[in-house]
Amino acid sequence: MNSSSFVKIGLSYGKTPSDVLESLARQGIKQPEFTVCFVSSELDQKQCIKEIKQSLKGHLWGLSSAGEFNGIQEEMTCGGIFLLSIEPLGDVLVSNVAIGKIEEKAEKTAKEIVKTAFEGLKFSPELLYLGFSGKKPSEMLKVNPFSLLVAHSRIGTEEECLKGICEPVGRGVRIAGGSGADSLYLERVTETYCYAEEKVEKNALSVLALASTLKNGVGIANAFRPIPGKGAFVTKSSGRVVYSLNNRVAADVYTELTNCSSWQDATKAFNSHPFGIVEPVSGYWHVHSPAVIQKDGSLVFFSEIPQGSGVSLLEADPQSRVESTRRAVQRAIADAGYPEKIAAVVFFNCILCHQQAERLQTGRAEIKAVKELVGENVPLIGASTYGETGYTLSGTVGHHNQTTTVWLLGDEPITR
């Protein structure tokens, strides 16, 4: 760290709480404002968080992970604990966390959780004044001090929660995050958690509210492109269940589109051939990944598909897998205002992306591509999640599948 740094960053990865805490101590982290924590679902979530919080100052936020986008070991890994601690050197960054159980009224509860997080933010108006001072009106468009990281642990309520999140924050807050995960290959989906301070909760929403005069941004990308001539219309759906495509049984149409011989055979194509819905303005393909075929031939997805949508079958390859990770970071850099110095990068990487990286053997290449963009020594931390939260290119926040979302913090003020 040189004299022009505005934050001190500690990054640690290990198999036990003592491993990661000792590593942070060796890096000289004493007064972190907050710490992002990802704990593998293989480990005892409550015990790990208890030990970490007892020894670590500042706010703690995070979620259970099915794997890691591991910038330390420079590959996709499984089975560890990741900590990213951020210690501001001066009055440049404040944070607050809030958590709550998501029960019947998910939208209302999410709204209250986010309001609690921001209302408890010890934000100085001088930070905002400094951010705008000396700026031309055109330069103020991206000078926004507020960001929000979100973690879900009640799978299936993400879209409803996002409605509640967006109501109090409007369009003026950067949002990124993901859903806590259980196992990389979905052998079980029962032990997903999110954290805030010492609380470790299932069926909950946890948020980290940030205000900073440092440049920061969010980015999103996926590896897929449409296959020409392979599309259909959603003629009957409800939430995440599609009953019919082109007025036929949904599973029959998907089986034909993927050139499979049976429903059972078609399930093997779920990872490599999800559906996509295009945003007409940006051309961005929003990925919707199939999860299961039900007895009646309906298709259950990992995200909602509105009735009346036009969907296209998607495909990817090793090159597009690597390029998508690079593109997500590039978009975060652009959103942050192109900082010359980057302090840290946090990834929310779909477990299906992790699986795809293993199948295509692109994990190391993805991390190498990121380091080529941000610098070899910039801390990278990432979790494999059950869905990702982020803004598309047209500015719509949503719950995504087989996507990488990124939050990037610059070591540079927004006044520069």
Structure confidence by residue, pLDDT tens digits, 332-352: 999 999 999 999 999 999 999
Is residue 59 within 8 Å of 95, Cβ to Cβ?
yes
| Cα gap 144→123, rounded to integer Å | 13
* Per-residue pLDDT reduced to its tens digit, 154-199: 999 999 999 999 999 887 799 999 999 998 887 777 899 999 999 9
Of 101, 108, 21, whose CA–CA distance to 60 is shortest? 21
* Per-residue pLDDT reduced to its tens digit, 383-414: 999 999 998 887 888 999 999 999 999 999 88
Overall pTM surpassing 0.85 (yes/no): yes
Give the mean model confidence (pLDDT) for residues 216-242. Answer: 97
Is residue 97 within 8 Å of 114, Cβ to Cβ?
no
Q: Write down the mean pLDDT value for the chain.
A: 93
- % of the chain with per-residue pLDDT over 70: 95
Q: What is the pLDDT of residue 128?
A: 61
Strand partners, 238: 241
Place of tokens 């108006």: 125
Q: Is residue 415 very low, low, confident or very high in pLDDT (cuts 50, 70, 90)? A: confident
Q: What is the pLDDT of residue 67?
A: 95
Burial of 3 (0-12, 13-18, 19+ CB in 10 A): exposed
Give the mean model confidence (pLDDT) for residues 118-143. Answer: 72
Q: What is the pLDDT of residue 193?
A: 97
Q: Which positions ≥6 away from 133 have C-beta within 8 Å?
A: 415
More confident: 27 or 4: 27
Q: 50 phi and psi, to 5 degrees?
A: -60, -45
pLDDT of 2 higher than 60: no
Sign of CA dihedral 282, 244, 303, 359: negative
| Cα gap 383→64, rounded to integer Å | 8
| Cα gap 83→6, rounded to integer Å | 20
